[in-house]
A = this chain, B = another copy of it.
Amino acid sequence: MPSQTFLNLTEEKKQNLLKAATLEFSRVNYNTASINQIILNAGISRGSFYMYFKDKEDLYVYIFEYYKNLFQKRIALLLEKNGDFIETFEQLFDEIIKYCKNNNQAYFKNLFLDMKFTMERKLLQKPKIEELNKQKKLLLKIINKSLYKYKTEEDLYDAFSLVLMITLTALVHYFIDDTKYQKIKDAYMNRLHIIKYGLYERND
């Protein structure tokens, strides 16, 4: 979380630092990214940086959260898709790829390659528990329960997070070898198909 000092800064100054940081996180992966390089990019002093952010991770998460919120809002798409979250993710997959291609592609590439399994949880969570529950409730309200076998809220929410994870993995695959969109999309669709109708022949 950035300090109040940072938040008080003029929009210009804030954007300047965030741009400088994004540039560095585009150049190399998270581990290799250097605060030295960021303050050089931004043209600010070492002391100032530590006035604004606790450390590199603090800054990284802040930028990450921005995009996270951006994509999270698009969950509104659920309404257009009649509460079918599988179809929703299917479209989001393409939207996200398109967005990443047009905005800081290199940044997103490093982001997805650095993406950890633990992130899935971060993506599902708003910082505060009340917020989380609110989001969860909203989601469960929008979801068209009649579509699915599993009716309890817990089951549906877990199914939702499963599809989120599959989507994330597909995005990561796409950014590993960014040439083969169609191949990755097909594999992604296959996985969704399994989720929809199951893998087993028999149906006991």
Residues of A whose CB lies within 8 Å of any CB of B are 31, 86, 112-118, 120-121, 146-150, 155, 158-159, 162, 165-166, 168-169, 172-173, 176, 187, 190-191, 194-203
Contacts and interface: CB of A to CB of B under 8 A. Distances in A.
Nearest to A202: B147
Copies in the complex: 2
Contact of A172 (B117, B147, B195, B198): B117
Nearest to A113: B118
A190 B160 CA distance: 12
Contacts of A198: 149, 194-199
A197 B190 contact: no
Contacts of A148: 199-201
A165 B121 CA distance: 15
A28 to B, nearest CB: 14
A150 B196 CA distance: 13
Contacts of A31: 31
Contact of A191 (B86, B158, B190): B158
B190 A195 contact: no
Contacts of A169: 117, 120, 165
A174 to B, nearest CB: 11
A203 B197 contact: yes
A121 B202 CA distance: 30
B194 A197 contact: no
Nearest to A166: B162
Nearest to A155: B190
Nearest to A57: B31
A200 B145 CA distance: 10
B176 A162 contact: no
25 contacts: A86-B199, A112-B117, A114-B116, A115-B117, A116-B116, A120-B169, A121-B176, A147-B201, A147-B202, A149-B197, A149-B198, A149-B200, A150-B190, A150-B194, A150-B199, A155-B190, A158-B191, A159-B194, A162-B166, A165-B165, A194-B195, A196-B199, A196-B200, A198-B199, A203-B203
